[in-house]
Structure 1
Amino acid sequence: MAGPKRRTTGRISGENVVIEVAWLYYQDGLNQKDIADRLGISRATVVNYLQEARERGMIRISLASPAFTNHRAAVELVEKFGLTAAYVIPDEDADEVETFYRVVRGAAAWLPDLLEPGDRLGLAWGKTIYDMAEATEKTRMEDVAVLQLVGSMATPYGFTAEACSTRLAQRLGAQVYNLHAPAILSNPGLAEALRAEPIIHSQLARLETCNKFLFSVGTVESDSHIVGSGLATQADLDWHLEHGARGVICGRFIDAEGNAIHGPLDDRMIGIPLESLVGLDMGILVTPGTDKTEASLAAIRGGYVSHFVTCLSVAEKLLAVD
């Protein structure tokens, strides 16, 4: 039962009222109506204060990882594909959008547990990675760096490759090393000259120090982000499809077994080669929907993945593969 009103926001102001609301809700266990009655404010205001507390990093909400890594489907994925660990999130009653954000939030919650001092985390780009960075709780990782693995590009999505790495580093309290070059150039000669520039050469060499890799594999459908971002044309996509493309990792195409498909784009790209992403200490793949099932299977078969975050629907599709 809610206690008597003891305070009002007239006596609590600024940051203090946000802390008070957060404490009453998360520590004292009062519901939103009880808090509104006690503080003499509306329930909508309570909701706003709780959201502000989360955004300002005053509170952390997490579910214990074993609930997801010990899930039946997670254990079976590990056994079937030789993974180190899998994190499977239920999606039986969720639509496509809700499933996407469940997986993103799950990956964001698990990531800090997978990092340790001295790690150099290579980061791909895309909506999944950007939204995961946004969902990551603020913390401070000791001696951890985040490295942008693909050059920059103009995109219609409202974020860029460097925005992904910068945002995640901010959330983790880590150092960030961005790649100050375009992802793709108009001709191989120009790309070769740019790679030889001392600053870019040094930045590309630093990418080879990555010991862990976080990514979401891209599809090879006509609406793939690799075309939407301008990194590849439809003709480029068609060429790679003719040569067996089944997925995209860091702007580069892989076949059904995860082998790199070296084509006309490679000589014009600025970024880490796929061969440098196999056999790292950890490869963390985040797959938020069934549209990426085939591409995820290719990435797993290619040896890019040791840790896998996905939903139950994707897990079941992968487990059904012969």
Structure 2
Amino acid sequence: MTQGEVAQKLGVSSTKAHRLIAWAYQNGAVKVSVVGSVAECVTLEDAVRDAYGLAVCEVVPDLHEEDRLPLRALGGAGASFLEREVEAGAGGVLGIGFGRTLAAAVTAMAPTGSGAMRFVSLMGGLTRNFAANPHDVIHRLAERTGALAYVMPIPFVANSSADRDVLLSQRGVDEIFRLACGADLMLMGIGTAEVDAQLVGSGMILPDEIEEVRRGGGVGEMLGHFLDEDGAPVETPLTGRTVSPALDDIRGRRAVAIAGGPGKVAAIRAVLRSRALTGLITDERTARELMRAMG
């Protein structure tokens, strides 16, 4: 039924019916999913996985979203991935980053028990003005699952590398950081090095800092680590001040990114070329562009 038909059947206004449906979806009372593989997407999954040396790749169909970020498609796929991991979790630790795509995935999750799984933030959770990260997802994840969640209540970028060492040496903080670096699964987003990058918009890094990254050849970013188009790290003063697991801590672990959209193809390609990821969840159009770049 359409929302208008639902409203008529319930004897309420269309506006109220819309709000009730949105509330039910956001709170997990209603879940919409499509079961079944799309042949083209399966072919793309195999191609991207083999081309970039991934263990797993999931490509979701294009939903023709008007926004630059295909949040509906990626949010649903990310939610399904998280639900599977939570259901299969046997006392493991899941480290999670931040961003709109991860937030969409957590929002789309159905409330579920977590068993003995624990969650930990992979990044310092304060911006430069010491306000809470506007795209922090770990609290929402804890609410959805009832699991223990550990956050790093320190800035994402310290004033200096010495300050970073002091922050991480604080009792409690060092334990959480070690937990993050040793997570059984790291789930993260991928950002760009554009002037309107999410890290800049959220106040986690400054405009002049992203300009310095761009001058150094930065194209893509994950967990605050910037990479050039070949996947090599871009060293700037930010490098020693960022509070997140190092690239060497990410490599060798299960590390999965959820990312897509036309504006992120170059960034995703750069991160994939670093060989730090073992898995990628992306949309159909992005996957096609990633493969076109291989040609």
With the length of structure 1 as denominator, give the TM-score of the two structures.
0.79
Residue 62 of structure 1 aligns with which residue? 33
1:1-322 map, 5 Å: 40-41=11-12, 45-64=16-35, 66-67=37-38, 71-91=42-62, 93-96=64-67, 99-115=70-86, 116-154=89-127, 160=133, 163-280=136-253, 282-322=254-294
Superposed CA deviations along residues 10-45 of structure 1, whole A, max 9, x for unmatched, are xxxxxxxxxxxxxxxxxxxx7767766665555655
Q: Distance in 1 between matches of 2:158 and 2:150?
A: 21
Percent of aligned pairs with the same residue? Answer: 21
CA contact under 8 A between 1:208 and 1:276: conserved in structure 2? yes
Moved more, 71-80 or 87-96: 87-96
Question: 1:237–1:36: structure 2 CA closer, same or farther, 3 Å change rule?
Answer: closer
Question: 1:161–1:195: structure 2 CA closer, same or farther, 3 Å change rule?
Answer: farther
Superposed CA deviations along residues 91-120 of structure 1, whole A, max 9, x for unmatched, are 274323573322222222232224422231
SS in 1 for 2:116: coil
Structure 1 unaligned spans of 5+: 1-29
Moved more, 142-151 or 80-89: 80-89
Question: 1:237–1:65: structure 2 CA closer, same or farther, 3 Å change rule?
Answer: farther
Superposition RMSD on alpha carbons, in Å?
2.9
CA contact under 8 A between 2:53 and 2:275: conserved in structure 1? no
Superposed CA deviations along residues 165-213 of structure 1, whole A, max 9, x for unmatched, are 1112322333211112111222333222222222222221221220111
| CA-CA distance at 1:301 after TM superposition | 1.8
Question: 1:149–1:68: structure 2 CA closer, same or farther, 3 Å change rule?
Answer: farther
CA contact under 8 A between 2:78 and 2:102: conserved in structure 1? no
SS in 2 for 1:152: strand
Question: 1:219–1:97: structure 2 CA closer, same or farther, 3 Å change rule?
Answer: closer
CA contact under 8 A between 1:104 and 1:135: conserved in structure 2? yes
Max radius of gyration: which structure? 1
CA contact under 8 A between 1:245 and 1:254: conserved in structure 2? yes
Q: Distance in 1 between matches of 2:16 and 2:217?
A: 55
CA contact under 8 A between 1:155 and 1:228: conserved in structure 2? no
SS in 1 for 2:57: strand
With the length of structure 2 as denominator, give the TM-score of the two structures.
0.85
Q: Distance in 2 between matches of 1:201 and 1:37?
A: 57
Q: Distance in 2 between matches of 1:252 and 1:225?
A: 14
